[in-house]
Each structure stands twice: as structure tokens, then as C-alpha cells.
Amino acid sequence: MKDKLVKLKEERFKGNQTAQVEVGKIDTRHIERKTRKYFRYVGSLTTPPCSENVSWTILGKVRSMSKEQVELLRSPLDKSFKNNSRPCQPLNGRRVEMFHDRVDKKDTGNKKKKPN
């Protein structure tokens, strides 16, 4: 993903304001989690038109990133989006569910035994 963001940043610096880079799908199962606890709820988009029925997943432990990583994520964005954040919204009857994975760290999955 980082290489694709770098490519998009390079296109923006070349003056291509409408540059697009295909990032594909991001499989969240491959994102390393520092916690096995997470929350899910159905809410809305954070930008207009703020459409409903968006599934959100919030990790139970806050992750951090360097200033360089933040800039890399922001660099391809138009100036009007760089400091765009929507304030917290009321729950409006939404249900927030907590999940806690209880999977052992050791992989005890379908390992085949080697014959003697």
C-alpha cells in the first residue's frame, strides 16, 4: 500500500491534480492488531453526503503512526480535505457491539504430520 501512496504523491507533485492509482481491496485480516478486542457498528460516511449503512470497525487499542506516515496519507489529498474531520455524532439508536477474539497465538490449524 505504501508504494501506491508514494506513486500517487509523485503524480501530484508532477502537477497531475486528477491522478489516480489503483489500490485494490484491502483485506483487514492482514492488518496486524495489537489487541484482539474491537467494536463494530453501522453508521454513516464521514464526508458529504454522509450516507448511512456503513459498517465501521474500531480497534480496542489505539495505534500510532509517525508524522511521515501521516503526511504520506495526506499528501495526495486536495487541500480542502487535509484538515477535514467530522465531529462525533449521537448514537441515534445505533447499537455498538464489542468483539473479543479468543484465538490462541500459536497456529494449531490444519498442520499435517510428517510420516516417520
Q: What is the pLDDT of residues 18-70, one digit of tens each?
A: 766 676 666 666 666 666 788 999 999 888 888 899 999 888 887 777 888 87
Cα dihedral angle (3, 20, 70, 39), rounded to 10 degrees?
-100
* CA-CA-CA-CA torsion sign (103, 105, 25, 71): positive
Query: Which domains are seen in the chain, by residue range?
Result: 2-79+89-100 (3.10.200.10)
pLDDT at 104: 53
Q: What is the average pLDDT score of the chain?
A: 73
pTM of the model: 0.51
Residue 2 has pLDDT above 80, yes or no: no
Residue 110 has pLDDT above 60, yes or no: no
